Amino acid sequence: MRQHSKAGDGPRRRKTALKRKHALKPARRRRRRSAAPSPAAKMARLRRELNEASELQKATSDVLRVIASSTGDLERVFATILANAVRVCDAYSGAINRWDGEILQLVATHNMPPAFAELRKLAPYRPDENSASGRLLMTKSIVHIPDLAADRAYAARSPTTVAAVELGGVRTTLAVPMLKDDELVGSFTVGRREVRPFTDKQIEIVQNFAAKAVIAVENARLLNELRQRTDELGRSVADLQRERDNKLMNLEAMAASIGHEVRQPLAGISSNGGAALRFLGHTPPNIEEARLALQRMVKDSHRASQVFDNIRILFGKADQGHEPIDVNELALGVLQALREELKDHRITTQAELTSQLPFVMGHRGQLQEVFINLVHNAIEAMDAVDGDDRILRVRAERHGGNAIVVAVEDSGPGIDPQQLKTIFDAFITTKPNGLGLGLAICRLIIERHKGHLSVAPAEPRGSAFRIVLPAGMPGVA
């Protein structure tokens, strides 16, 4: 057998290996060149990423604009957020739920079938394993289910998951928690009708929209708090204004009352004083007549003193001088005292007074002044209508179990609806020469009797003033 020399074989083998190595290099270079993306593919990818970024920026701007312009209407804000999130993430439907500490209640939807939305409202989610939102409540973390129909909850025929698949048409779902300072306030979900999981970037986008929904909720809460505090401040200012008006009214009314009530006794004192001087100037002096004139002066001075006492009671302690009062007797007494004035104005009076009414505790003179003022107002109101249609109705009856209502109703033209809310305010008047104190003082008196004075249009026309007073003790009217 012929043998080859080892020394001679070595160089030939090395040359053959070098040839093969050089022959493989062009093939490897060709494979590397074919694996690199072409410039057109790079441009397409960059263009796609640019469009996605532009869409996201546009959606974000739209959402922020709606949040900034919102006046607390979360429904409009949620609708905008959902629509943009569904569009940008290439989903089909979306929903926002609010967490109240016990249940997750549906508050906004986008493209959700009506039957599924109605079921969701009737059966809110709770922390459990039977749905994506239920698992979210248990963990306060993102729940991403690529195929609901293949999920264990659907296999176990969980009603919520079965409804999502068969009524909502959801296959791929993503639920993101809405958190404020690590506190759960709701959930933000999007879904697809085909099995197509969301990418990491899309999940991040949904998280951003969920954060904006939290901002909208917080803005609405702060705005509602601001409105509430503004309303409280407005009521406080109104109360202060009313208190100021009441003080001014008290001063004005006190001055008017003093001027009106003291005028007569002062005139009597002056007249009787002059008469006494004349009787003493007679020759001989008429001592008896002078004595009678002086006695009348003393009586008039007592009357003036009583005027100040009555005014002090009205603007002093509320319960001073209170006694049991029969409102039927009081009303009939006022009508009797004003009988001639009612007759002069051709007004027909109708008194409908329920018998067996309990007494009320109050100041007789003050309540009488209220009744007189209301009747006088009715007389003046009916001057604007024909005499045959002038009817004054006074009714008294029980109000509930422990109160009495007295109504004074006229057939005049009525009160302007714009003035109804302020008709009892101080210095508000419908009369050309009125001070605007009559009804204000009436309300003050009734409120000091722990009652209520109101007015409403009468039928078919006119005004009906109602006085509600608490019953003080049983009695017979």
Which residue do the tokens 């099995």 mark?
Answer: 195
pLDDT over 60 (residue 290) = yes
Q: What is the pLDDT of residue 435?
A: 45
Confidence bin at 233 (pLDDT 50/70/90): confident
| Distances in whole angstroms, Cα of residue 350 to Cα of each of 218, 332, 347 | 61, 11, 10
pLDDT over 90 (residue 473) = no
Q: What share of the chain in percent tops pLDDT 70?
A: 74
Does domain 42-224 bear CATH number 3.30.2320.20? no
pLDDT over 50 (residue 436) = no
Which of the listed CATH numbers 3.40.50.720, 3.40.1050.10, 3.30.565.10, 3.40.50.150 matches domain 323-473?
3.30.565.10
For 100-119, b/e burial (b = at least 16 CB within 10 A) is eeeebebbbbbbbeeebbeb
Question: Rounded to 5 degrees, what angle do the CA atoms 66, 71, 76 make?
Answer: 50
Q: What is the pLDDT of residue 385?
A: 84
224 or 32: whose pLDDT is higher?
224
Q: What is the pLDDT of residue 196?
A: 94
**pLDDT (tens digit, 9 = 90+) per residue, 300-317?**
787 677 656 656 666 665
Confidence bin at 460 (pLDDT 50/70/90): confident
Confidence bin at 80 (pLDDT 50/70/90): confident
**pLDDT (tens digit, 9 = 90+) per residue, 170-184?**
999 999 999 988 889
Which residue do the tokens 């009530």 mark?
Answer: 261
